Amino acid sequence: MKIDVLTLFPEMFPGVLGSSILKRAEDIKAVSYRVVNFRNYADNKHHTVDDYPYGGGAGMVLKPQPIFDAVEDLSTNSESGKPRVILLCPQGERFNQKKAEELAKAEHLIFVCGHYEGYDERIREHVVTDEISIGDFVLTGGELGAMVIIDSIVRLLPDVLGNEQSHMRDSFSTGLLEHPHYTRPADFRDMKVPEVLLSGNHRLIDEWRAKESLRRTFSRRPDLLEDFQMDDKQKKWLQEFIKEQEGKSEK
């Protein structure tokens, strides 16, 4: 995968892209990164990339020309065909694991990180393929959002995590939150690991994990269950959790 980032603050990225899993991914050539200051594409002598909004109003708006030229240049030099161009924007589609899995299948991604009051609308209409928000809040720019999305995508690429099963049980990958985890010691300050995890019986362990995954989702993110298709066993477990909850509320 090839990932390009268009930003006015390229100095924000080396520490993130050059560390941990993101660096490992680059080292094994699963991904290549390029961070580009799109101010370099401005066609005026002062290299300005923003201007006052037509009609008046507060703040400055990013001009279309630098973004158009930058994306066209990076796309022309792409060996992967037409790239996905992702605009980081609070008005965009809410980012989730399903979107991460979709984008992880792309060969070339270009992230556009804006600043100031907003983007010239022609950028949205004629350059961008995806508008994405990482949540219902506003940041000073798109850089942090791009880092979050890049991290969530790159870890899904083949061989990046080492164990291909690692991300398959992540929270949201199955539609549910992930089950609890434990490690040594088995008894820490009289807090004991569930016996089933010490049993060596993998069938029972898998069942415990599936049940606790559903329990955790029910207690913390019940909204995720609205669209989740449960089998008969999971439906039975859910009824258990509901009765447990009703019993606690009656005390």
Q: What is the DSSP string of 132-147?
A: EESSSS--SSSHHHHH
CA pair distance 163, 161, nearest whole angstrom: 6
What residues are annotated to the active site?
A: 90, 117, 155, 170
Q: Give whole-number Cα distances, 54 to 61, 93, 177, in Å.
A: 9, 26, 46
Task: Give the pairing type, strands 191-192 and 187-188.
Answer: antiparallel
**Which runs of E-coded beta strand occur in the chain?**
2-7, 32-37, 50-51, 61-62, 84-94, 108-112, 118-119, 130-133, 187-188, 191-192
Determine the pLDDT at residue 162.
79
What pLDDT does 251 receive? 67
Q: How far is CA 168 from CA 91, 114, 163, in A?
A: 30, 33, 10
CB 131, CB 87: distance < 8 Å: yes
* Closest alpha carbon to 35 in 62, 63, 61, 2: 2
109 SS3 class:
strand
Phi first, then psi, for residue 53 (nearest 5°) are -75, 140
- Alpha helices, DSSP H, located in 155-192: none
Which residue do the tokens 């992967």 mark? Answer: 80
What is the per-residue burial (b if ≥16 Cβ within 10 Å, else e) of 122-154? ebbeebbebbbbbeeeeeebbbebbbbbbbbbb
As a whole number of Å, the CA-based R_g of the chain is 23
C-alpha distances out from residue 149 to 62, 145, 197, 231, 239, Å: 22, 6, 34, 32, 36
Give residues with Cβ within 8 angstroms of 133, minimum separation 6: 88, 89, 90, 91, 92, 93, 94, 95, 145
Q: Are 121 and 110 in contact (CB under 8 A)?
A: no
- How do the pLDDT tens digits run along the chain, 251 residues long? 999 999 999 999 999 999 999 999 999 999 999 999 999 999 999 999 999 999 998 889 999 999 999 999 999 977 777 899 999 999 999 999 999 999 999 999 999 999 877 899 999 999 999 999 999 999 999 999 999 999 999 999 999 997 665 555 565 778 999 999 999 999 999 999 999 999 999 999 999 999 999 999 999 999 999 999 999 999 999 999 999 999 888 76
- Do 110 and 84 touch, CB atoms closer than 8 A? yes
